Amino acid sequence: MKRIATFALGLAALLSLAGCNFGKGPDFSFVSGSENTVIQPIVEEFCKSKNATCTFKYEGTLDIGLALQSDNGVEQDAVWPASSVWVDMFDTKRRVKNLTSIAQTPVILGVRKSKAEALGWVGKPVFMKDILAAVQAGKLKFLMTSATQSNSGASAYLAMLSSALGNKPVIEPGDLKDANVQNTVKALLSGVERSSGSSGWLADLFVDSAKRGTLFDAMWNYEAVLKETNDKLSGMSQEPLYAIYPADGVAIADSPLGFVDHGRGAEVQTFFNDLLAFLKTPDIQKRIAATGRRIPLTDVAAPTEPLWNFDPKKLVTAIRMPEPQVIREALTLYQAALRKPSLTALCLDFSGSMSGAGVDQLKQAMRFLLTPEESSRVLVQWSPADRILVIPFDGSTRQPREASGDPLEQEGLLNSVLGEQPNGGTDMYACADLAMQRIARTPNVGNYLPAIVIMTDGRSDDRSALFLNRLNASRLRVPIFGITFGDADKTQLDGLAEATSARVFNGGSDLAAAFRTVRGYN
């Protein structure tokens, strides 16, 4: 008995030393669209049950696609974009295995209830031509993600194209050359008031703005994200977004989860397969459905909410997605000709602390951004209708230069940037102030999506109060995005972004990628 007792004590000590590593599951990583943040806790429950460590990285549609297309592929073990269309289009090396739809959600238009009533849309079928008429009459503006950066924006855009073509069974390459079709879609896109590269961030923008008393008219987004948005608005005693399901067709996201084999062994593949099985169990399907997502071929669904026309069992007319090559051509057309033009002021830090590697990386980023052959590869090229203002700054502003998105004019801007040298202190507020003045003086400024982008590596002289007072007095809605570099203190950039409903991006590891990302928000 003494031997048994001694053995038991020894085993207990070993288990204690092993701690949580005993029976530990694999470390498993996901790269996902932002719309899946509400599903993450469900996945984490499964990970915990397997004693596995799971990590999520949220990226835009284009980022996931470009990673799949790259030589190295995605770093994560699983991809979870909004739609399988992007895997079909970018995963040319067929790295993604076992791609499985987890749920579905159509991309629809949410319109403030009072606005929908004023437009006569409550309780009636609404067609894309009705939306177009409201935009052209100046009665409707909306938020929409960039079609080249985010699936929800691309889905809304492809539905617009389909409607303009008279709902042909499928969009073909030659259809994109139709001038009437282009003009119709361009007119629809003129209704965009704010853009972004993330569906989740766009919804947050709508809610956060409502908290401050700024009410946007409408938002294109997933049906499920509209439910999340309305749940938040209800908690704030704000009116809901009324769900408009365009009667001539919507695109449906199928939320596919796929495995990427990095050669880590059968245990990792088994973990993924078990996760798929877990997500398909009846109880979990009910929980996913409760978020507003649709579970095809089942009876589970979130309750309908007649107040804002939410019905996840409603039959919708789904457009047929074009072939991948046609989608690529359509996205290029969007970026180069059909989207609402941008008016972008680039405040570039040429203070003394940027000497050396800093200024080299800044100039390289500008080569990417102002060289059409480079920027077009990732669908962030400027169009001739865009306006670009470059303002170098140090302790004060330097000579500003302005141009259109015409390739020759971009070349002139680039040459001017390449001639700048670092020197002096840092005053980003002087640059922001000058940028705001120039934007305010732009003729027909309402025809553009304006934005200021400040790239800096250091802490500025603090003139924020004076600048923000002027900004508020101007009544201009101009988001001020920040890009940090090096060991920059982002506190001041966060303050400007918070005050203007924008974001701050980290350019420390890849300045060109940061500029590309911010282009999706303008």
Q: What are the structure tokens assigned to 521, written together?
A: 């928000």
Is the per-residue pLDDT at 258 higher than 50?
yes
Q: What are the structure tokens assigned to 221, written together?
A: 């987004």
pLDDT at position 7 is 39
Residue type, 329: E
Tell me, yes or no, whether 216 and 348 share the same domain: no
Say which residue, 134 or 297, is predicted with more confidence.
134
| 511 in Cβ contact with 483 (< 8 Å) | yes
Is the per-residue pLDDT at 16 higher than 80?
no
**How far is the C-alpha of 190 from the C-alpha of 141, rounded, in Å?**
8
Tens of pLDDT, residues 38-53: 999 999 999 999 999 9
Percentage of residues in the chain having pLDDT higher than 70: 96
Q: Does residue 112 sit within a domain?
A: no
Tens of pLDDT, residues 467-487: 888 887 877 889 999 999 877
How confident is the prediction for the chain on average, in pLDDT? 92
Residue 329 makes CB contacts below 8 A (sequence gap 6+) with: 173, 176
> Final residue of a domain: which of 229, 253, 277?
253
Residue 11 makes CB contacts below 8 A (sequence gap 6+) with: none
Q: Does residue 36 sit within a domain?
A: no
> Final residue of a domain: which of 191, 221, 253?
253
Q: Does residue 216 sit within a domain?
A: yes
What average pLDDT does this structure show over 426-454? 94
Q: How far is CA 69 from CA 73, 78, 93, 108, 298, in A?
A: 6, 15, 7, 29, 35
Question: Read out DSSP for 477-505?
Answer: ---EEEEE-TT--THHHHHHHHHTT--EE
Tens of pLDDT, residues 484-514: 987 777 888 999 999 999 999 999 878 988 9
* Structural domain total, the chain: 2
Beta strands in 47-153 (DSSP E): 54-58, 78-80, 96-101, 105-112, 142-143
Q: Does residue 39 sit within a domain?
A: no
> Final residue of a domain: which of 204, 229, 253?
253
Interhelix angle 151-164/199-211, rounded to 10 degrees, is: 100
pLDDT at position 170 is 86
pLDDT band at 360 (very low <50, low <70, confident <90, very high): very high
Containing structural domain, residue 510: 341-519
Q: Does residue 238 sit within a domain?
A: yes
**How far is the C-alpha of 219 from the C-alpha of 199, rounded, in Å?**
10
Tens of pLDDT, residues 365-407: 999 999 999 999 989 999 999 999 999 999 999 999 999 999 9
**Which residue do the tokens 């840092």 mark?**
426
What average pLDDT does this structure show over 444-453? 95
Residue 241 makes CB contacts below 8 A (sequence gap 6+) with: 110, 111, 112, 113, 206, 218, 219, 226, 229, 230, 233, 308
Q: Does residue 404 sit within a domain?
A: yes
**163: CATH:** 3.40.190.10
